[in-house]
Structures are given as C-alpha cells and as structure tokens.
A and B are shown apart, each in its own frame.
Chain A
Amino acid sequence: KNQVEQSPQSLIILEGKNCTLQCNYTVSPFSNLRWYKQDTGRGPVSLTIMTFSENTKSNGRYTATLDADTKQSSLHITASQLSDSASYICVVSAGFGNYQLIWGAGTKLIIKP
C-alpha cells in the first residue's frame, strides 16, 4: 500500500534556530516528491518539488533532500522566523500518466519568540 509518513507530528523551536522535518514513503512507482507549507486557515502552497535524480533542492531558507534508495526526504529550515509557523506536508506522486498523489499528515511547526 502506498504510504507517506511524517515525523515529528509537531515541533516547537525558538526563533532563529534550525530544524529538520522528516518524510518516509513507501510509494511505487515513484515519480516525484513535493513539500507544501500550509499556514493556519489557508490552503497548502508548494515549496519544492524533487524528482528521482535530485538529491537536494533549496528555496530560500528551505532545503529539501531526497534519498531515493532509503525512500526518505527531509526539509531543513535555517534561521527560523515567526512566519515559518505552519504545517509542512510531504506529498509523493505515484505513477506517471495516470498518477496518484499520496499525502502525508504533516508536521505542525511552531516558532516561539
């Protein structure tokens, strides 16, 4: 069964600190992996997308990594800001022409001043 699991469920860190969120998946055939940011009361917004051949991709202070062999991805946030408080969702695409999106439950990140 295709699954995406994220950890931790929630995380609280102080402003200015770094953090890493994890995503493990069992999806076949793998097409790509995307990280979304979802602010409270808003819809998800795409942060990065990574294909099988990409190991690292950055978007400002956000850096996503992908290890296709171990089927793991991480999202690293550097020098956190209060505006980073949100849920971060990992989504894996299974298949190609008629693909399916497998959504993780998300990690809720709270940045404290």
Chain B
Amino acid sequence: GIQVEQSPPDLILQEGANSTLRCNFSDSVNNLQWFHQNPWGQLINLFYIPSGTKQNGRLSATTVATERYSLLYISSSQTTDSGVYFCAVDYRFGNEKLTFGTGTRLTIIP
C-alpha cells in the first residue's frame, strides 16, 4: 500500500514562532488532506490540497504532487495550535480510503 511519512515527529516552539511540517508519500494520490487533532481528540479539517497552494489565515499548505510531498506552514504560532497534525492521502489507484501518516506533535509554549 501507499506509505505516508511525516516529519518532524515532535516540535516544541515558543508562541509567535513559525513552523513547517512535511508530508512525503510514496505514490500518486487523488486526495491529500491536512488535519489538526486537538487535545480533546477532535480531527479538524485544515486543507484539502491534492495539488497547488492554499492559505487560510495563519496557515498555508503546498502540495507538489509530481515530487510526492506536501508542506504545512504555521505562522505566528498560538497555544491553541498545539496538538497533532496529520497528513492523509487517498491512493490514486485504490479506493477512497485515507491513509494517514503518523503525525507531527506540535507543542506551543507561552
């Protein structure tokens, strides 16, 4: 099956700092999504971005499908950004199931 790798596994930053999270995937995809899992366990949709660049406030994402990676940028971090960030992909030649990476745990210190 398709492999999804996220880096770094853990990131600890001071409030106000910027960060870049990376997602590498091993094959062609139809769908790529970024999620934030908050400390209460909820999975929140951040981006649906199989290719190109999108921005939403302090967050932006870029997917380069031909090179099989995606980046999530978080600027001016706030403590509410803490949690685990997951990248998930839908293999192009499979069904619509999402295969998740192992996540990046982000901790923002006040």
Tell whether A and B belong to one assembly. no
Residues of B within 8 A of A (CB): none
Residues of A within 8 A of B (CB): none
